[in-house]
Structure 1
């Protein structure tokens, strides 16, 4: 809910455990990337609201972390601009994230790309999902790059994305799925930024 709803919006439900105890739950929004989700369905069996699905998926992917640790990041795209203070506090472009895990008409997918200049800082902060997690084969000693779960790392953002927003620095669009089309782009992309190193 924190990706999709605004701070003034909540999602409430309750569930019953094996002992018959009812547990009420309330989840508050935060970022508001798809705050209209409360009145517009993500999709039905035959139709999709692909824009909303893409925005929420990009936010979820951008916040994934191989290590499960909290790292302060700045998320930017055409829906969420940044303030001058935020841009000053988070100057290192890490990478970009996009996909659709909610579609009812196509296979779910997650994509990520990395900003070459941000790879070292991302790994220093334990953020490996844009550039990939480095692991060492215990038998051969070779280093391999692993994706975060089902997220496909498609390489440098400089290769797969076009145009950066002049003020906020986010990528305006990236290739949706290069195995289907090398030309079809999506603008449902979130670019992540990190704090500068010490």
Structure 2
């Protein structure tokens, strides 16, 4: 299957490889080969730091914990959530961007989330978001309020695809789930382990955490992927460089310190400390590890 980066949510299959396509319009006609491995199917990553924080979007934007009890379908959304998606302003654009990622992680390729909104000039804009990984395909008809494992998987999926700059970066995402397995060709191409991501955006107190792989920091920053290593900011007055978090994502340090085992075949972190700030023992295995090209 061949897909174009111009498609907002192209289909994903094994192996999972993603690419940033921020600002791209849906283009069903334009399709191009990505590399030579036709089993690699592309999707977008994006500039989502603010969208990860429900409070940054409230009251007019989409909050993940407001979606959990309901079906992931327009006619099942709470009125305020649907209003957020149809908002023609900047907050509406952010809500729609977040929903695209949510749908892509949760639903299958044969499932879509469709609605329309009217822009400030009165033009009706149709939106069709297609599923990719199928992590919670049943969410199309029922809620996931009691399924914290799925909530964490979807959160990790979204977090790993977040990009401070919204630049075009091909990445490989891996964990123990079959939807994120990797082929030998993919592992040979994406050899730089960037970091790991975990959390739960659907919790009563949403959180997202990340760690960086020390050997991948330089390459990540070179490619403008700062959400694991931290965003470098230079004070124009003093020239002092500081490291900032990626929006509300908490960077907890080196993965070599906070994560336990690396998978011997695919190279992903099998588990990391849930919250190193509060416990050196409690771990989570719902973690997504990202890889870059050298």
Please give the range of the TM-score, normalised by the shorter of the 2 chains: 0.7 to 0.9
TM-score normalised by length of structure 1? 0.88
Deviation at 1:32, TM superposition (A): 3.2
Are positions 1:87 and 2:187 aligned together? yes
Deviation at 1:15, TM superposition (A): 4.1
Are positions 1:182 and 2:280 aligned together? yes
Deviates more, 1:94-103 or 1:18-27: 18-27
1:122 match: secondary structure: helix
Alpha-carbon distance change, 39 to 78 in structure 1, aligned in 2, over 3 angstroms = farther
2:106 match: secondary structure: coil
Match among 26, 29, 44 for residue 131 of structure 2: 29
2:252 match: secondary structure: strand
String of CA shifts for 1:10-63, please: whole Å, max 9, x gaps.
2223445678876442211223344443355221xxxx3111111111111111
Query: Which residue is equivalent to 1:194?
Result: 292
Query: Which residue is equivalent to 2:157?
Result: 59
Match among 146, 158, 168 for residue 256 of structure 2: 158
Extract structure 1 runs of 4+ deviating beyond 6 A: 18-21
Aligned residues: CA RMSD = 1.9
Long gaps (5+) in structure 1: none
The structure in which a higher percent of residues are strand is: 1
Relative contact order, higher structure (CA 8 A, sep 6+):
1
Distance 1:4 1:181 in 2: 30
Distance 1:19 1:132 in 2: 39
Distance 2:240 2:222 in 1: 21
1:121 match: secondary structure: helix
1:164 match: secondary structure: coil
Long gaps (5+) in structure 2: 1-102
TM-score normalised by length of structure 2? 0.60
